[in-house]
Structure 1
Amino acid sequence: MSVEAATARETTAPEPRIGRSWHVLIPPLCYLAVGVAMVVYTQLVPLDGIERGALNLPFIIRRTWEHIQLVFFSTILVLAVALPVGILLTRGALRRVTPFVLALVNVGQATPAVGLVVLLAVLFQIGFWTAVAALFAYSLLPTLRNTMVGLEQVDPRLVDAGRGIGMSAARVLFKVELPMAVPIILSGVRTTLVLNVGTAGIAAFIGSGGLGDLITAGVSTQRNLVLITGCVLIAVLALIIDWLGGLAQRLLAPKGLS
């Protein structure tokens, strides 16, 4: 009976995995369907001259790509700063400066996004990289804070055990602490991504492109269809990126924690 049970388990094992994989793909497919339906609708309904200029397909694709670039580069910058700084602030004497660093980072988070973008444009210049810098300052806190929290919640007994078997501090960090902190760190990265997608719409105020151009064009010309299209596409992009972040969070988490 035990052999038959084992054989039955082996034969039925792939089916749940396939079912789960299709279940996971349903949300992004629904999001994509909404975005595609919105774009198709704008190409089929009668439009006036202003609407045609803002809703032609090449223009929408170009603005979507610019939006993705803004999110990508600002998030890469956040990761390049937040991860090493978060690790350093949980090490030894550097813990003392943690309140000052968090207070500084909180300034970027507390400043209204529009004000931050415009302020940087005034101080430096209008353009793509100014918008990236503003997005970086605005979304740095979640990843930095979660990196610190993830490392601080690792059981000290695991760290002591690693040191007890002769592992160096660096080896304990990379083999014990960071793997255990991955779920919480990825949760912060996911929050940063969604923040950047929404806030990148404001980049249009300083001529940095993105889907915010549709929103500003819709408001300034009083064309509701242009405005709604921009809002829907930003929402769809945020939902898809949030789904990708959740998928990465499940796949990259240590086996026992996923």
Structure 2
Amino acid sequence: MSSAITVERLDGGAIAVLTIDRPRRGNALDSQTLAALHRTLDSINGDPAVRAVVVTGNGTVFCAGADIKAAAEDFTDTDATPHASLQARAAAPVVVTMAAQELMASAFEKIHRLRQPVIAAVNGAAVGGGFALALACDIRYASANASFGAVFIRYGVSACDMGTSYHLPRLVGASRAAELMLTGRVFDAAEAAAIGLVLEVVDGEGLVERAIDKAREIAGHPPFAVWMTKETMWQNVDAPSLRHALDVENRTQVMCTCTGDLADAFAAFRADDGPS
């Protein structure tokens, strides 16, 4: 069976372009797609050659979230979750549903925790779980026809889903996040850019290339420095105090000086600054 997650390696493997390839289903995430996503993310995280990741969807939709035509018990894969055997035996629907929820949520957590920066190229609708997927990425670009929304509240389910209630207030502020989540309204790319949710709206066919260009810019820096910058920044978003943030920064900076990258950079700077 061919995977619904495709990966294209660029620049000798430094850039990984990850595409959700289920356009006829709005790139919705069923169990097989989520299992493939888990395996792909684990492979990327363990590959030192990969320096940055771009995530997008095939066709005119970024991701429609969970595949609503799949039953909760279908979200089972022994390679993706350690709870699969429990899931298969469980008689209580809540156990099966919880396992299905965890399978998707933990994939988005992996994106957030990935050592490489992840750039979303939102090529169309990103609603429900698709919205949460975009939020889990570090940087977002959008096409002019992209749309976003935490829509579950419309159907009697909490809009706090798959990390949305964690990421959205940190990205756009608590009051604006509350309005978006409590109304469940779908908003366009222009508004997403205006509130700082996306970095830029890209017209025409250049969306993925724009994201790749940013990935190349990031990949030009020493990988450990990039990893530590991503990890420390997101940790300090939750820092309880300035002192805590400074302590984490200080330890990170000292670790980075021990890699040899700093000495090499200073040597190159001195060589460039010398007489020609």
- State the TM-score, normalized to the length of structure 2: 0.22
Bigger relative contact order (CA 8 A; separation at least 6): 1
Higher percent of residues as helix: 1
Which one has a larger percent strand, Structure 1 or Structure 2? 2
Larger radius of gyration: 1
Q: TM-score, normalised by structure 1?
A: 0.23
